[in-house]
Amino acid sequence: MRVHARFRLHQVTRGTGYYKAPGEEEAKQIESAYVRLGAVQGEPFGSATPNGSIEMFIVNPGASELFLHAPIGQEFDVFLSPVEPA
């Protein structure tokens, strides 16, 4: 079972974060991204349109690049599913 929702990018703020890459001993100062997304209203969800927002502070360079180069208004699909306990 999973839930599908679509969110629109409303805000991207550049910032400083610290990231320790796999295999490295120390974290390095890098550019990070604070992002705020809001639920998209209407299709493809119709009357089941979700309502809400997602806020994230992202320090992983690969993940932050996605948002630092995305235009405001870009839509993203989000899929949520249960995770088995570790």
* Residue 18 maps to a domain: yes
Is pTM beyond 0.85 here?
no
Average pLDDT over residues 4-30: 92
The domain total for the chain is 1
Q: What is the pLDDT of residues 19-65, one digit of tens each?
A: 988 898 999 999 999 999 999 887 766 666 778 899 999 999 999 99
* Residue 19 maps to a domain: yes
Domain that holds residue 24: 1-42
Region for residue 44 given its phi and psi (left: phi exceeds 0; alpha: psi -120 to 50; beta: otherwise): alpha
* Residue 60 maps to a domain: no
- pLDDT band at residue 7, thresholds of 50, 70 and 90? very high
pLDDT attached to residue 26:
92
* Residue 74 maps to a domain: no
* Residue 80 maps to a domain: no
